[in-house]
Amino acid sequence: MMIQRLLAVFAWVATVLLAGCGTAPSSTGPASNASAEKSLILATTTSTQDSGLLDELLPAFTRDSGWQVKTLAVGSGQAIELGRRGEADVLLVHSPAAEVKFVAEGGAGSRRLVMHNDFVLVGPRADAAKIRGTSSVEAMKKIAAAQAVFISRGDESGTHAKEKDLWSKAAVPPGGSWYQSTGQGMGETLRVASEKAAYTLSDRATFVTQRGTLALEVLSEGDPGLLNVYHVIEMTKKAGDRVQPDGAKAFADWIVAPPAQRLIGAFGRAKFGQPLFTPDAGADEAELGQ
C-alpha cells in the first residue's frame, strides 16, 4: 500500500512541478523495504531540505520512534495540497495564512508551533536598486522603481506567499521583463538569482548554508515583517483512508518535544557560527519576533 501510495504521490507532484518548471521532490529516510505500518510520508517545504535540517532531524526521529520517513520536499502550498488529498501523513510548513485556512477545512488535526527564523532580501554586491539597509517594503519599492531583475520562486510556497505580501504592502504589482519566476525551490532560485546578478527573497537558513556558492549578499533584513514561522500539522482519516494518524502524531509529538527542540536550536551553530532556526514549541506565537 505504501509503494502504491508513493507512486501516486510522485505522479501528482511530477505533474505539478513539470507544469511550473520545478524540481522533483526529494526523498529521505533509510530502509526502503521498511514495513508500511511503520513508514510515514512527510510533506514539507524545500527550505527544511535545502538547509540540511532534515538530515539532522529525521535519523534521530527514526531511532527514537521506529518510524521511517519518506519526505516530499516541495513548496508549502504544494505540501498543503498533498495533505488535502490525503497523500501525506504530516506536514512541516511555513505559510501561516494558508495553514489556518487549510486546518479550518476540517481534514487536518493538530497544528503546532515548531520553530522560526527569518526571511532576507539578497542581491548582488553592486546593489543597483540601492536597497542595502532599507526596510523590506522600501526595498521592494526601490527594486520595482529601478526595474532591477527580481527572481521569484513563483511556486505558491511560504516564501512566495511572503514575497507577494511584501509587494502588496509596497503597493507595487510586479511584472515586466525585470520580474522573473523559477517555479522551483529555494536553492535553485538562489542559484538563478546569483547567475543573473538579481535580487530575491530567501529564508535565512537556505541562504546561509549555500552562500559560499553564491555571488549574493544580504541587503535587507531584520524588520518584523520578515519573520518566518514553521508549524507541524497532523493529518487525519478525514483527508483520506490512507492517512496514518498514528505516524503523524508520533512525528508531531517528537518534533515539539525537548530533545528535538534542542537539535533544532543547535543546528548550524558549529558549522556557521549561528543557529539557523529558533525552537519555539510551547511559546506564545504572538510574542515571536518582539
DSSP the chain: -HHHHHHHHHHHHHHHHHHTT-PPPP---S-TT--GGGEEEEEEEHHHHHTSHHHHHHHHHHHHH--EEEEEEE-HHHHHHHHHTT--SEEEE--HHHHHHHHHTSSEEEEEEEEEEEEEEEE-TT-TT--TTS-HHHHHHHHHHHT--EEE--SS-HHHHHHHHHHHHTT----STTEEE--S-HHHHHHHHHHTT-BEEEEHHHHHHHGGG-S-EEEE---GGGEEEEEEEEE-GGG-TT--HHHHHHHHHHHTSHHHHHHHHHTTHHHHSS-S-EE-TTS-GGGTT-
Residues 74, 46: Cα–Cα separation, whole Å: 5
Among candidate residues 25, 14, 31, 120, the one with its CA nearest the CA of residue 68: 31
Residues 93, 76: Cα–Cα separation, whole Å: 5
The pLDDT, as a whole number, for residue 148 is 98
Q: CA dist 223 to 63, 107, 138, Å?
A: 39, 34, 11
pTM to 2 decimal places: 0.86
The pLDDT, as a whole number, for residue 289 is 63
The pLDDT, as a whole number, for residue 134 is 97
- End-to-end Cα, the chain, rounded Å: 46
The pLDDT, as a whole number, for residue 287 is 83
The pLDDT, as a whole number, for residue 2 is 54
CB-CB contact of 222 with 133 (8 Å): no
Residues 206, 271: Cα–Cα separation, whole Å: 14
Can you give the pLDDT of all 290 residues of the chain as single tens digits? 555 555 555 444 444 444 344 444 444 444 444 444 599 999 999 999 999 999 999 999 999 999 999 999 999 999 999 999 999 999 999 999 999 999 999 999 999 999 999 999 999 999 999 999 999 999 999 999 999 999 999 999 999 999 999 999 999 999 999 999 999 999 999 999 999 999 999 999 999 999 999 999 999 999 988 999 999 999 999 999 999 999 999 999 999 999 999 999 999 999 999 999 999 999 998 888 65
Among candidate residues 30, 27, 55, 31, the one with its CA nearest the CA of residue 42: 27
CB-CB contact of 280 with 289 (8 Å): no
| Residues 6 or more apart in contact with residue 77 via CB below 8 angstroms | 95, 98, 155, 156, 157, 158, 160, 161
User: Cell numbers 515571536 correspond to what residue?
Assistant: 288
Domains belonging to the chain, first-starting first, are 2-117+229-287 (3.40.190.10), 118-226 (3.40.190.10)
**How many CA atoms lie less than 13 Å away from 232 in the CB half-sphere?**
25
CB-CB contact of 240 with 225 (8 Å): no
The pLDDT, as a whole number, for residue 22 is 43
Largest CA distance in the chain: 56
Chain centroid offset of residue 104 CA? 21
